[in-house]
Chain A
Amino acid sequence: MSKKITFSDLVNKIVEETGESKKLIHDLLIETKNITSEGLERDGRVNISELGHFDLKWHKARSGRNPQTGEEIEIPAHNTINFKATSSLREYINRKYAHLKPEFIEEEAPGITPVPPILPEPEPLAPEPVPEYQPDPIVEEKKSVKSIAWLWLIIPIIIIILAFLFWPSDEAPEPVVEEPAQSEILANDVEDEPAEQLKPVEEPEKAEPEKLQKKIEDIEQPVTPAKNFKPETKDPLKPVKEPAPTTQESVTAEKEPVPVKTGIGTPGGTHSIQPGDNFWTIAMDFYKQSYLWPKTYLVYKELGNEKALYYLWVVNKWEAHEVIEKYKNRINETDLKSVEKIDGFPVVK
């Protein structure tokens, strides 16, 4: 530490290394000093590769005190020069200590910090129990609080999961089972039953949510054009065999034994259920508006065909059950006249 190499010895060592003249290297070191001072004044930082960088740091004015005399002195704002070595140089110097690494201390740390605040007060009263009692309840309280907190988090999650599992099992199967009678309804008057269904419909309208009311508003407009199709459907059914022969008797006579038409796109046609059909698709085929799917539902329901209801049952059940009761008013009695049954499957004409 106390050793120090002189400037001339340093110059001689560099001369041995490089083989240049003494004067050049002496000038080089002196010029580097001059240039660093100029560079610090200009930029505030000077880099020298593999050695480090010099920095100027600005200190604010402050009031100090002379430690010998105790006089107060105002220290003006000023610069200081700092040097920081490069990381490669720091590693090169510390290569002896490279294997040492910082280690954590577990027990000393808490023991040292709490002692100084506690000692001055409890010494006259009871110095011994203070360090023993305080740490124990603190640890226990934290554990108890943590255990309760876990329970409060877990219990509502379990309740929510159970609610999702067991919620929908009650109301689902009602509409399908209610009407087993298939042929009797057709045999009886079809006109009377929808009239009975119309009356109770008015009550549930109040309880239903706002979303359904929006759907109603959407459907109120398309209902009127749909009526244009209905007379077309009604007329050809019964009179299909009659008005057709007005144009050509020979051609209509051939068509009379074949009343069934392909239902897609034609209002008066028939339709047989196929995989992929919904109430929506059928409503789109016959009424050209998929929002009128409750009509198709009621038509099949009047027939009492459980198969058809089972295959076409795609929409959410609760929603359908509520919505259909509401739209019973909007379906004319005459629609149900155009329903017939062929080969066990319902056919809409």
Chain B
Amino acid sequence: MTNSELIKTLSSRLGQSQVEIKRLLKSSVKIMKEIIDEDVGVSIPGLGTFKTFIKSKRRSYNPYHKKFMVLPPKRVIKFRSSSSIKNELKFTRQKNE
């Protein structure tokens, strides 16, 4: 499902124009970005929580140069899905579909 399809269905269900909902989604995503950047978890009920953690620096092997190398520390976003949506979709979709 693309972003435009999401905006169409939201506008049909909430009774707002697509331009309005595009603006609202953009601003809400912007605020979520800022909250995630402050090391604070964000949760949307029924969907899950977003939060960040820091991967410390680590050693890894580069097979192309055949050398070991040190990767710098890095921040990663982790999403943990809520149990309700997890149980909904657990057995719905088969692999070959």
Neighbour of A58 across the interface among B33, B59, B74, B95, CB < 8 A = B95
Q: Mark B57-74, 1 if CB is under 8 A from A, else 0.
A: 001011001011111111
User: Are A5 and B41 in contact, CB atoms less than 8 angstroms apart?
Assistant: yes
Kindly list chain A residues whose C-beta atoms are within 8 Å of the C-beta of B43: 4-7
Evaluate contact between A7 and B45: CB separation under 8 angstroms: yes
Asked if A336 is at the interface of the complex by the 8 Å CB criterion, the answer is: no
**Interface size, chain A (Cβ < 8 Å):** 68
**What residues on B are CB-neighbors of A36 within 8 Å?**
1, 6, 47
CA–CA, A20 and B20, complex, Å: 10
> Cα distance A34–B68 when bound, in Å?
46
A314 at the interface (CB under 8 A from B): no
**Cβ-defined contact, A18 with B86, below 8 A:** no
Which residue of B is nearest A42, CB measured? B1
Output the least CB separation between A20 and chain B (Å).
Answer: 7
Contact with B along A35-48 (1 / 0, CB 8 A): 11101111111111
Please give, as numbers and ranges, the residues of chain B lying within 8 Å of A94 by CB-CB distance: 74-75
Which listed residue (B67, B71, B77) contacts A83, Cβ 8 A? B77
> How many angstroms from the CA of A42 to the CA of B15 in the assembled complex?
24
Instruction: Evaluate contact between B69 and A105: CB separation under 8 angstroms.
Output: yes
Q: Does A142 contact B (CB under 8 A)?
A: no
Question: B interface, by DSSP: helix, strand, loop or mixed?
Answer: mixed
Q: Is A30 an interface residue (CB 8 A)?
A: yes
In this complex, the member of A5, A44, A77 whose beta carbon has the largest number of chain B beta carbons within 10 angstroms is A5
Contact of A25 among B24, B74, B79 (CB under 8 A): B24
Residue numbers of B with Cβ under 8 A of A are 1-3, 5-6, 9-10, 13-14, 16, 21, 23-33, 35-37, 39-53, 59, 61-62, 65, 67-75, 77, 79, 81, 85-86, 88-95
Sample 10 A-B pairs with CB under 8 A, ordered by A number.
A14-B27, A17-B31, A24-B24, A33-B44, A36-B6, A79-B90, A81-B48, A81-B85, A100-B72, A105-B70
Known: A37-B89, A102-B69. 17 other contacts (CB 8 A): A4-B43, A5-B41, A14-B24, A17-B27, A17-B28, A25-B24, A28-B24, A31-B13, A32-B10, A34-B46, A41-B92, A46-B6, A47-B1, A79-B93, A81-B79, A93-B36, A102-B71
